[in-house]
Amino acid sequence: MPDPDLRPAFLAATDHVISIVSRDDVAAAWRQPSALPEWSVGGLVAHLASQPPTVVRLLGAEPAVEAIPLDEHYARSLWVSAAVDDDINVEIRASSDEQAAGGHAEVLARLLEAREALPTVLEAQAPDRAVLIPWAGWALRRDDFLTGRMMEVVVHGEDVAASVGFTSPPLPQDVLTPVLALLTRLAVRRHGQGALVSALSRSERAPRTISAF
């Protein structure tokens, strides 16, 4: 059976981001600390809201020649195992704070502009299209790239909800399934098969954490 086409799923994930970012309580909490260490709510929301514009921008660029597997992307990415104060995470927060500096309305406007452009941009992409990740220096296949962006949406959507104090809207299965599969593989790589199986099935011997990151 061929892999599902994730382009419709990414549109649903974008609508999920819009439903979170457009909330009045999110706008009101903009300058408050978030649930993540060293992140403001505004910076965190700007990072979440940047995922659809990033897809529009990178899918609109010239295709790369060759792509690496998705799991290899995370194995190579420094932020995965970096501490809060390591340079890579400081740079990510600084970039997000810069995007948030214009305020809630500006971040929401960029997000809505990306949502309008996405159907046309996504329609033009072939499954084997190699998408260059410029900050990483390598490329991913189209749906691997979209899976990574959806993972950011799912995880940071929950971060924003925890920061502001609301329940994140439920996501459709075509978004959750590839994201949970990715997080499961990364958690197994980090903690081992036994730790993950025990956490999911045996509370008496569950490890303290099976976090993928």
Q: What is the mean pLDDT of the chain?
A: 95
Predicted confidence (pLDDT) at residue 1 exceeds the cutoff of 60 = no
Dist CA 37 CA 18 (whole Å): 24
What was the pLDDT predicted at 135? 93
What was the pLDDT predicted at 2? 61
Query: Comparing C-alpha atoms, which of 148, 208, 205 is closest to residue 178?
Result: 148
CATH 3.40.50.140 fits 7-169, yes or no: no
Going from the C-alpha of 194 to that of each of 81, 115, 135, 139, 202, the distances in angstroms are 21, 41, 34, 32, 11
CA 39 to chain centre: 16
Predicted confidence (pLDDT) at residue 3 exceeds the cutoff of 80 = no
> Residue 151: which residues within 8 A CB-CB, separation 6 or more?
179, 182, 183
Give the whole-number percent of the chain exceeding pLDDT 70: 99
Residue 160 phi, psi (nearest 5): -65, -45
Parse the chain into domains and list their residue ranges: 7-169
Give the whole-number percent of the chain exceeding pLDDT 90: 94
pTM value is 0.94
pLDDT band at residue 25, thresholds of 50, 70 and 90? very high
Exposed / middle / buried, residue 182 (Cβ in 10 Å: 0-12, 13-18, 19+): buried
